[in-house]
Amino acid sequence: MPETGVEPAEVPAGLRRAAPPRLPEIAEPDLVRHITELSTRTFGIDTGFYPLGSCTMKYNPRVNERAAALAGFRDLHPHQDPEGAQGALELMWRLERMLAEVVGLDAVTLQPAAGSQGELTGLTLMRAYFDDRGEDRTEIVVPDTAHGTNPASVAMAGYALVGVKTDPRGNIDVDDLRGKVGPQTAGLMLTNPSTLGLFEERITEIADIFHGAGALLYYDGANLNAVCGISRPGDMGFDVVHFNLHKTFSQPHGGGGPGGGPVAVRGMLEPFLPVPRIVRGDDGLSYDWDEPKTIGKVRGFAGPFGVFVRSYAFMRMWGPALRHMSEVAVLNANYVLARLKDAYDLPVDRLCMHEFVVSARTLRREHGVTALDVAKRLMDYGFHPPTIYFPLIVSEALMIEPTETEALETLDAFCDAMLAIAHEAAEDPQQLKDAPHTRPVRRLDEAEAAKRLTVRYLFEDHPTSE
């Protein structure tokens, strides 16, 4: 037995190697060069345009990273006493108030670590509110254009999901909605602008329907980048809002993090917010755990602090001009839409907000070319593909979001590539079906990949899936 007194771990028989690993005997420079070359195959916002609709994959200014790397922030321990973390608490306290002002609500919790956790937190707050009032409300209304996390969050929060249709102009079908709201309704989950990239034209009427039934409105903040400084969810009638700090306020997100999903609420929901709350007293800032109606903690500590620093730096950089950020995002999206709408189908012929949806259904009908083929071919032109096949109500959907951080030259190059691909679909459709042609890996068997989550199997037995 080892000196530690701990038995060595027993490797299961099925995981033991049949032979020693084939480790190369090479010099350090060769190894470093190999790893560096592999790193160039990773696509990110620092290497190219990333037009993922509804993801807001915009550039993260390096000054944000400089701020997050300041020693007082970088080296702060989560268990640090509040007396020794006044700078961090001050930043969070100010960020809460800035976020509340952006959406026009009264109080904010920074705890949720992602938009999906923000959704669950917001719905849990709604449940606590109705339980405190002695009301048994069991349903949440969700439109058919909703993000996939919305129905999942509704189920996790213990509510029944009630779907509502979209009308021909891309709005919620208010006639369909009216018959689905009553004393059993806890609220509505809505993204505005929607995942079609369109602003709800009857949002105040929708708010009146729900508030008239005693229900609440939840705002999915995934598309907040379109309206900052222009319109506020609280003024539209929403009672709960979650933010995606990693989208709207510039984080290097993707691949699992980092992210932040703070939640803002109207005053009547504030007593139920997670603890601890950051409060200012005569002796400075501290944590307040004495909230008898709180839903408790939803995450360890106070939240993803590095994300807060980046978001705070980003918002202070824009200052009162934050509206301009959203205006440019909307301008860029409408510019790209104007260039593409004649080559691709347009499900709803309206001005978009910060993103839009076109369809490849005509390309599929006439040439057998799908949205997936377009996306794969776009990689050969050096662009990350947009979101495809979402929202689900649009067949062969391509959902594109340029953000405000891209230059006109980049947008034109992307549009030129999309137009060239539409031309290729008519002239040489097989070229699209075989794409990508220039990437290290061609088309994998995606159905098999979903069934057998073994990367080694895919690459050893199906190196290109040609």
Q: Sketch the domain layout of the chain as residue ranges.
A: 63-320, 323-461
Q: What is the pLDDT of residue 252?
A: 79
Mean pLDDT by 10 residues, the chain (466 residues): 69 86 88 91 87 91 93 91 94 97 98 94 98 97 93 96 96 95 97 96 97 98 96 97 94 77 97 96 93 94 89 95 97 98 96 97 97 97 95 96 96 98 97 93 82 61 44
Q: Which two tokens stand for residue 231?
A: 């319109």
Cα 222 to Cα 142, 213, 369, distances in angstroms: 15, 26, 30
> What are the start-end ranges of the E strands in 177-302?
185-190, 216-221, 240-243, 263-265, 277-281, 284-288
Long-range contacts of 447-453 (CB under 8 A, 24+ apart): none
Estimate the crossing angle of helix 305-318 against helix 322-340, to 10 degrees.
90
Decide which of 3.40.1390.30, 3.40.640.10, 3.40.50.1820, 2.30.29.30 is the CATH code for 63-320: 3.40.640.10
* Gap between the Cα atoms of 107 and 274, Å rounded: 11
Sign of CA dihedral 124, 126, 128, 131: negative
Q: Which two tokens stand for residue 324?
A: 């301009």
* Gap between the Cα atoms of 350 and 327, Å rounded: 17
Give the pTM: 0.89
> What are the start-end ranges of the E strands in 8-156?
107-109, 139-143
* Gap between the Cα atoms of 309 and 311, Å rounded: 5
Beta bridge partners of 387: 399
Nearest to 203 by CA among 237, 157, 231: 237
Regarding the domain delimited by 323-461, which CATH topology (the fold level of the hierarchy) does it fall under? Aspartate Aminotransferase, domain 1 (3.90.1150)
Which residue reads 């009264």 in tokens? 106
Nearest to 308 by CA among 81, 93, 121: 93
* Gap between the Cα atoms of 373 and 380, Å rounded: 11
